[in-house]
Structure 1
């Protein structure tokens, strides 16, 4: 699948992709081609809250309805930009998710992200919506989970303290973002309950998006 920024007719690479209805349009030559503008589902939250447990379970639970991916697989040297919010890293994921969406299945992206890191990017135009759900936990529980991780993951106390600070910030500010972030507390939830909640979140919002897409196309 071609990078969604690139026009298949003239080869121009758009800085800001133009999506009009169900088509991409090249600002340089005017060429139009079919484009599926699906939603993206961001399963976010601090480390230790449950993303790496819930994400794999969603693969089986959602079946062929979505492609579930782990964000950190692209956290490589070439994409670890030092700019606040890591825009190159985020933009790369948006382009990849948009390419996958052309198969007709949306992406559930598991990894720490908040709306201000995705919403201002030019690649945001490639999606109808980005839906966010954050898994969080009480600080003492989160710290205990992180300290129990294997040594190779390098969870020292300074890093744990930073994660706890982010966890509390996200819990307090989730509903102030645009769009807002839905929050689910995994402190006392079983894995099954967490997976069920994430599945319900996806099914509810994917149904809404399908209805809106049908209305726009009529």
Structure 2
């Protein structure tokens, strides 16, 4: 069983669109079938400033040895910044490879179901659970303006993030995204909520 699930371990062909049936993959070229771990992916999303980066280390500590917590922005570099679809696809491939080690992934970053669900790599996961951290426009604006200059949060970019926050709030039910408002909540209280949300959805 290979870690890169797009590559057939028998003939080495690479599939642009994987053929998945249950927890098995099939090669279009040679017909080889092989099992893989098809686990749920947890997408901790929401606008910048809502607390994802703060929450990541807290969750990593609480879930040590059970799940892998990752920050999406670490790959927001080079050519991937010019191709958002490729950026999303690479993360799904990476998470699927990590799943082959037997631990589900919690991926922290600004994403929405329409950006993950249509991708061919979506087939590697039994489900993708989405939880969005949101806040009031005032709280998000205050937090983003307080960030260091190297993060380049100017007013147009802040306005764009506030628009995403508003869209998430309005569209969450339709999209199947759960929400938690971090405006008044402490980091520990939010971590409690997210930990419980994840644990109720972990495979037994």
Interval containing the TM-score (normalised by the shorter chain): over 0.9
The runs of 5 or more residues in structure 2 that have no matched partner are none
2:160 matched to which residue of 1?
A: 162
- 131-140 or 2-11: which moved more? 2-11
1:93 matched to which residue of 2?
A: 91
Shift of 1:157: 1.0
Shift of 1:81: 3.1
Contact 1:42 1:132 in 2 (8 A): yes
2:29 matched to which residue of 1?
A: 28
Q: TM-score, normalised by structure 2?
A: 0.96
- Secondary structure at the aligned position of 1:19 is classed as strand
1:47-58 equivalences under 5 Å are: 47-58=48-59
Contact 2:3 2:100 in 1 (8 A): no
Asked whether 1:107 is paired with 2:84, we answer: no
In the alignment, which of 127, 152, 159 is matched to residue 129 of structure 1?
A: 127
Shift of 1:22: 2.5
Whole-Å separation in 1 of the counterparts to 2:3 and 2:93:
10
Whole-Å separation in 1 of the counterparts to 2:129 and 2:165:
19
Shift of 1:154: 1.0
The runs of 5 or more residues in structure 1 that have no matched partner are 211-218
Contact 1:81 1:87 in 2 (8 A): no
2:195 matched to which residue of 1?
A: 199
Contact 2:55 2:191 in 1 (8 A): yes
Whole-Å separation in 2 of the counterparts to 1:2 and 1:155:
37
- RMSD over aligned CA atoms reads 1.1
Q: TM-score, normalised by structure 1?
A: 0.90
2:151 matched to which residue of 1?
A: 153
Whole-Å separation in 2 of the counterparts to 1:21 and 1:114:
25
> What does the per-residue CA deviation read over 1:104-143, in whole Å, with 9 as the maximum and x for residues that have no partner?
0010000000000000000000000000000000000110
Whole-Å separation in 2 of the counterparts to 1:153 and 1:81:
18
Contact 1:5 1:15 in 2 (8 A): yes
Aligned length: 203
Whole-Å separation in 2 of the counterparts to 1:104 and 1:161:
40
